[in-house]
Amino acid sequence: TILKGDKPQQPSLPFQMPGVKSDPTDMYKINLIVDNSGLKGAPVVLELNPTYSRLFGATEKEARFGALITDYTMIRAGSAHRANGGFFVVPVEGLFTNPMIYESLKRAITNEKLEIEEPTARIGFMITKSLTPEPIPFDAKVIIVGDPQWYQILFARDREFKELFKVKAEFDTTMDRNEENIKSYASFICTLCNKEGLMHLDPSGVAAVIEYSSRLAADKTKMSTQFADVSDIIREANFYAKGEEANIITRKHINRALEE
């Protein structure tokens, strides 16, 4: 309740930035970090580049006058938040690029909560003070995909793995190279480019990727479902296309990525 003469309480800053005027309406802004209202069913999220911040979100910071500042409008969701209430698919290889990623994912599954925090906070080391949002309830089916040997390694060496991931399903590593699957493959490529901000591929680039997929499958009538490897090639091709100041990825860029 605000009585006559009272003023709304505003969060205080540790010091006033010179020359910077605060907007009194900032404290009333809304930061909607996930909006799945347009989905017709449960969300299905495939995270092909599972870095810590891409998985669990982050609180961004802005440099002003030599200082890093942040507020709640800079809180960003991760792919785990977008998968909440649905299915979350992660390639196993990416979980071990940073030792904190796998442990944090297990913690989220066990505690049924997602926490947005600095990665260094997990090991008790903080460089700068930052916001700590309240944990968000987490309810999603987490699916880890990878080669069978990864399952054997984790099953043998991680006691928690067998408790958290009780169902093992084996899928074919190839698919028929027919018109329908080629269209699906092209759709996957388009989705990857949109999601990661990559240049799109022209028809020759898509054809080169499909040919590479058949080589991975070791059968010209099949296409590989090793999407992590295919995605890496597209990312590399994007790098080379940028270097040439091109606006689209072509067969030439795909071939160069394959040669390097």
**pLDDT, tens digit (0-9, with 9 covering 90-100), for 62-101:** 777 777 777 788 889 999 999 999 999 999 988 888 878 9
Helix, strand or coil for residue 228?
Answer: helix
Report residue 114: phi and psi, to 5°: -110, 130
The identity of residue 198, as a single letter, is: L
Please, are residues 45 and 93 in contact by the beta-carbon 8 Å criterion? no
**pLDDT, tens digit (0-9, with 9 covering 90-100), for 203-226:** 999 999 999 999 999 999 999 988
Q: How much is the pLDDT for 104?
A: 92
The dotted CATH code for 174-259 is 1.10.8.60
DSSP code for 14: S
Residues carrying CATH 3.40.50.300, the chain: 41-164
Q: How much is the pLDDT for 22?
A: 64
pLDDT tens for the 260 residues of the chain, in order: 344 444 444 444 444 455 555 677 777 888 888 998 888 899 999 998 888 999 999 888 777 777 777 778 888 999 999 999 999 999 998 888 887 899 999 999 999 999 988 776 666 555 566 677 889 999 999 999 888 888 899 999 999 998 999 888 877 789 999 999 999 999 999 999 998 999 999 999 999 999 999 999 999 999 998 888 899 999 999 999 999 999 999 999 999 999 98
Q: How much is the pLDDT for 173?
A: 80
Q: CA Rg, the chain, in Å?
A: 23
Kindly give the residue spans of alpha helices, DSSP state H, lying in the chain: 52-56, 79-82, 99-111, 148-157, 159-164, 179-196, 203-217, 227-243, 251-259
Residues carrying CATH 1.10.8.60, the chain: 174-259
* Distance in angstroms between the alpha carbons of the first and the last residue of the chain: 66
Please, are residues 219 and 236 in contact by the beta-carbon 8 Å criterion? no
Q: Distance between CA 259 and CA 255 in Å, rounded?
A: 6
Q: Which of 108, 107, 58, 94 is nearest to 78 (CA)?
A: 58
Q: Distance between CA 58 and CA 40 in Å, rounded?
A: 27
Q: Is CATH 3.40.50.300 what the domain over 41-164 is classified as, yes or no?
A: yes
Q: Which of 118, 113, 11 is nearest to 60 (CA)?
A: 118
